[in-house]
Structures are given as C-alpha cells and as structure tokens.
C-alpha cells in the first residue's frame, strides 16, 4: 500500500515542490498550511510520516511536534530555515526523527523520508511482556512501565530515550556502535538515524545529570556508547 506523507509548511511553493517530488517516488501526500491544520489532518487521515516546518506563524513546528509526541510516535522530519544547532537538537529532543535545512534538495527530502519509512517498517515490535526490571548501579528501569529511576527518583524520558537506555543497560559490558543502537531500537515508532543518536544521548546525559547521575553513558571514541558505571560520579 502507498505510504501517506503529511507536508506542513506555510509556503505553498514548498508544499507544491514536495508534493511533486514525493509523488514521483510513489508516495501519497496531504497538505497543511499551519500547525492547527496539521493536527486536524493527522486526526483525519493518520499519515505515515509528517514533514514539518519549524518556523510557522501562530503554532510553530516545535509545538506541533510536542502535541504529536504527547499523542503517539508518528515519525517526524523537520524542515528548518535556520542552520542552527539549537533548533536541530531541540527538535530531536522533542522526538523528531530527522531534519533537513532550507534551502534543500527535493531529492534529499525524499531520501530522508524514505529512510525513515524503511526503518519504521523494518520489523514489527517484538512481543515483550513481563520483562524483568533492569538495575545497574543507581539506575533502575521498568521496561513494562517505561519508567526510569535514578536512586529511587523517577527521571522522565521519551520513548526513544528510554529504549536507547534500556538497550545499553541490558548489556553493561557491551559497546554499541550507532548502527547497532539503531538496529536494536528500530521498528514502528522508532525511526533513528546515526546523526540523531548523538542528540538523544546528549539529552539522556542532561536529564540524569540534573538528578545527580553524571556517569549514565560512556563514549568510546571512534566506536560508540555503553552504559556508564551509574554510581553517581563524573562521566
């Protein structure tokens, strides 16, 4: 079945350009010119992916992303008119799956959209029931309740952040490459790329540092990541 892409941008020329490019790739498209209309289209049509402009009047793309993430894990590809790392990281931390900076090549947008769709359709989620809690130092993870605690206090995480942390904590001695993390995490609702893994890890470190856990994830230069000592010391 054709996949449906919702294109959200207040510039009709950009929407027209992407409708044409995505159509040539065999994808169905629907459009929205603002954030409110985007939310309405999601409710009405249930698209497989949202291509979402950040800078829109009234409700911007970041707020749309927040609301979509509060409701589920619909994949999101951000469009940004500012080549700004803060925008990028904030977008990823909110739960976006990738981003493209304007001006962009329509081929690049199509390629990134197709990559996200392939990852979300790569395999069905495994049936995981009554999974045991994972404890490592001061870290405790409840996989069934999607709950993370540090020294007994909850640390709120997004679904993707929790899944990455669970992957690392399940094998404390293993160093995971970015590709290995993507392979473990991918599936419906999880559409990572190698360059967004770093942003999720930065966000995990920041959240646990606020709780006193500065040694949550270790970086092995040139290799990847593994779970830290989780003893409360510096990472």
What pLDDT score was predicted for residue 81? 80
CB atoms < 10 A from the CB of 75, how many?
24
On whether the 4-120 domain is CATH 3.30.230.80, my answer is: no
Query: Which residues does residue 219 pair with via DSSP β-bridges, in sequence order?
Result: 225
Query: Mind listing the pLDDT tens digit for each residue in 191-217?
Result: 566 667 888 898 899 999 999 999 999
Retrieve residue 192's tokens. Answer: 């990572």
Two domains, one topology: 4-120 and 134-227? no
Q: How far apart are CA 78 and CA 8, in angstroms?
A: 10
How do the domains of the chain map onto residue ranges? 4-120, 134-227
- Right CATH for 134-227 from 3.40.50.300, 3.50.50.60, 1.10.10.10, 3.65.10.10: 1.10.10.10
Q: Is 165 a residue whose pLDDT tops 50?
A: yes
Q: How far apart are CA 191 and CA 15, in angstroms?
A: 23
What is the pTM (predicted TM-score) of this model? 0.59
Cβ 5 vs Cβ 114: under 8 Å: no
Percentage with pLDDT > 90 across the chain: 50
Averaged pLDDT for residues 1-9: 89
Q: Is 25 a residue whose pLDDT tops 90?
A: yes
More confident: 145 or 6: 6
What pLDDT score was predicted for residue 235? 47
């Amino acid at each position: 079945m054709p996949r449906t892409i919702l294109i959200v941008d207040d510039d009709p020329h950009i929407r027209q350009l992407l409708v044409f490019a995505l159509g040539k790739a065999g994808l169905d498209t629907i459009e929205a010119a603002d954030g409110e209309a985007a939310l309405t289209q999601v409710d009405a049509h249930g698209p497989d992916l949202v291509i979402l402009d950040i800078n829109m009047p009234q409700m911007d793309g970041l707020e749309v992303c927040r609301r979509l993430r509060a409701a589920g894990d619909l994949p999101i590809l951000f469009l940004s008119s500012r080549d700004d790392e803060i925008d990028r990281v904030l977008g990823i931390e909110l739960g976006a799956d990738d981003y493209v900076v304007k001006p962009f090549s329509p081929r690049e947008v199509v390629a990134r959209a197709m990559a996200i769709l392939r990852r979300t359709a790569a395999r069905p989620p495994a049936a995981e029931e009554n999974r045991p809690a994972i404890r490592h130092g001061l870290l405790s993870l409840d996989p069934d309740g999607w709950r993370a605690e540090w020294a007994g206090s909850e640390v709120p995480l997004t679904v993707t952040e929790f899944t990455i942390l669970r992957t690392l904590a399940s094998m404390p001695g293993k160093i995971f490459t970015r590709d290995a993390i993507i392979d473990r995490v991918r599936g419906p609702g999880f559409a990572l790329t190698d360059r967004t893994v770093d942003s999720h890890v930065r966000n995990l470190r920041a959240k646990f540092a606020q709780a006193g856990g500065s040694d949550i994830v270790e970086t092995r230069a040139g290799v990847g990541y593994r779970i830290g000592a989780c003893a409360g010391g510096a990472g």
